[in-house]
Structure 1
């Protein structure tokens, strides 16, 4: 792996831990440093940080709060 790529990964804790859990990425990056963007996207998918995943999580939290509010309202009646 090229030194610049290695140092970049060491600075990004999320990418570093992703590579440790998915060692095939060592090989991919050793062969082609241009796959770094692909690594970042794959890492975001793995950790649930893509925009659709974050929106879905927010929507689930809103639904949970609405359910709790309904339950609290029914207990007061």
Structure 2
């Protein structure tokens, strides 16, 4: 493998770990170092760093927050009804 590719892998622990988990990239990068960008793109997808994945994660977190707020509102309404009924 070329030194420049090795330097990129050594500089980024996550890319190095990705290559270790997907050893096919050792061969691909040794034969064609130009595929480094393709490997980085696949690694970003693997680690969930693509824009659609981040948007989906944000939507899930927002949905959870909205559900918690709704549960708090229902709890407050129940307490208000219980106090009003006394």
Tell me the residue number matched to 1:13: 13
Deviation of 1:14 after TM superposition, in Å, equals 1.2
**Ranges in structure 2 where 5+ consecutive residues have no aligned partner:** 78-86
Give TM-score, length-normalised by structure 1.
0.97
Distance between the aligned counterparts of 2:68 and 2:16, measured in 1? 38
> What secondary structure sits across from 2:35 in the alignment?
helix
Give TM-score, length-normalised by structure 2.
0.87
Tell me the residue number matched to 1:22: 22
Give the length in aligned residue pairs: 77
Q: Which has the larger radius of gyration?
A: 2
Provide the aligned C-alpha RMSD in A: 0.6
Counterparts of 1:1-77 in structure 2, within 5 Å, are: 1-77=1-77
Distance between the aligned counterparts of 2:42 and 2:60, measured in 1? 23
Q: Which runs of 4+ in 1 moved over 3 A?
A: none
